[in-house]
Amino acid sequence: MHELPIEARPRDLPQHLEVSLESLVDMDSQILAKDIILPEGVTLDVDANEPIVVVSAQKEEEEEETEAPDLDSIEVEGEKKEEGGESEGEEKE
């Protein structure tokens, strides 16, 4: 959950919410909507048992193998590759 829907009168809108993380002691720990202490006049617009924060193990991402481009096959604009490995501006003897 990235947003927390609340209901309040404009004068009661909180600037921020504070949440204690002390209950997050191991994997699968969670903070539910009902665990959030709200100022007077403010209510949550979600189910009280809705998980707000869940601790989980980091998933490993599979790295995609990519081939490095063949730099010799890339032409630079303004330069032409010539047979024999000579570049533009060099004279042949």
Residue 63 lies in a domain: no
Residue 46 lies in a domain: yes
Residue 88 lies in a domain: no
Q: Tell me the C-alpha to C-alpha distance, in Å, between residue 66 and each of 23, 63, 69.
A: 43, 9, 9
Residue 9 lies in a domain: yes
Range of 3's domain?
1-15+25-57
Q: Judge whether residue 5 has pLDDT over 80.
A: yes
For the chain, the domain total comes to 1
Residue 66 lies in a domain: no
Instruction: Please say whether the beta carbons of 52 and 31 come within 8 A.
Output: yes
Residue 85 lies in a domain: no
Amino acid at 59: K
Residue 40 lies in a domain: yes
Q: What is the pTM of this model?
A: 0.52
Tell me: the pLDDT tens digits for 23-77?
888 888 888 888 888 889 999 888 889 888 888 888 787 777 788 878 888 888 8
